[in-house]
């Protein structure tokens, strides 16, 4: 076996082990949400369920829980407003420059149609400069939330809901 083949085999085996560890995620995540568990509790549950304590379960737990909460808010907006559903992704106070770049125009949250965020899918596999607004966390450990924006409203610089100005009145 050549050196290259040996490294390739190691990579394949590592990827299979990682997938096997993550097989416990859906059930443990559902249980954590149903019971209102914290990311720390979920991380412990994931480590116990997988038997692998070499993974950064805290990062995974924080990201997955935030993703579930984001998706739940988006589903709520769809149930209420249907095709007109729109949301703002609101950066956490400690948000990174990338989240501020994709979610804010100046200091004002951008209002997105749910359809646009769904179309953007996730940023998995993209380079940082190519990250775009998504429903799912923009990156691991992302704590940015989702705010439902009723049709005809937007957000102002204080992040308050305000009616969209009628263009005919402004003219």
> Which tens digit of pLDDT belongs to each residue from 112-145?
999 999 999 999 899 999 999 999 999 999 999 9
What contacts 23, CB < 8 A, 6 or more positions away?
none
Residue 12, pLDDT > 80, answer: no
Q: What span, in angstroms and rounded, lies between the C-alpha atoms of 153 and 61?
A: 33
pLDDT above 70 (res 169): no
Of all residues in the chain, the percent with pLDDT exceeding 90 is: 72
Task: Tell me what pLDDT residue 17 has.
Answer: 57
Q: What is the mean pLDDT of residues 71-97?
A: 94
pLDDT value of residue 8? 65
Mean pLDDT within 138-163: 95
CA distances (Å), 154 to each of 59, 115, 158, in order?
Answer: 32, 17, 11
57 three-class SS: helix
E strand spans, the chain:
86-90, 104-105, 108-109, 111-113, 145-149, 153-155, 161-163
Task: Output the pLDDT for position 24.
Answer: 84
Distance CA 14, CA 21 (A): 11
Our CA angle for 36, 42, 77, nearest 5°, is 50
pLDDT higher than 50, residue 170: no
Task: Scan for tokens 């990682």, then name that residue.
Answer: 18
Q: For residue range 14-31, what is the model confidence (pLDDT) as tens digits?
A: 655 566 677 888 888 899
The region of weakest confidence among 8-17, 56-65, 69-78 is 8-17
Buried b (16+ CB within 10 A) or exposed e, 156-166: eeeeeeeeeee
Three-class HEC string of 14-36: HHHHHHHHHCCHHHHHHHHHHHC
Q: What is the pLDDT of residues 39-58, one digit of tens each?
A: 999 999 999 999 989 889 99
């Amino acid at each position: 076996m050549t050196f290259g083949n040996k490294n390739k085999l190691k990579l394949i085996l590592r990827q299979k082990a990682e997938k096997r560890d993550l097989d416990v995620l859906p059930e443990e995540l559902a249980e954590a949400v149903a019971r209102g568990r914290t990311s720390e509790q979920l991380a412990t549950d994931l480590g116990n369920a997988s038997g692998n304590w070499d993974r950064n379960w805290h990062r995974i737990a924080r990201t997955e829980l935030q993703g579930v909460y984001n998706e739940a808010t988006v589903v709520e907006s769809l149930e209420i407003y249907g095709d007109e559903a729109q949301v703002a992704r609101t950066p956490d106070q400690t948000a990174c420059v990338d989240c501020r770049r994709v979610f804010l125009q100046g200091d004002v949250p951008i209002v997105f149609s749910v359809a646009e965020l769904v179309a953007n899918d996730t940023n998995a596999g993209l380079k940082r400069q190519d990250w775009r607004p998504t429903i799912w966390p923009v990156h691991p450990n992302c704590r940015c939330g989702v705010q439902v924006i009723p049709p005809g409203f937007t957000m102002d610089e204080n992040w308050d809901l305000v009616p969209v100005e009628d263009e005919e009145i402004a003219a």
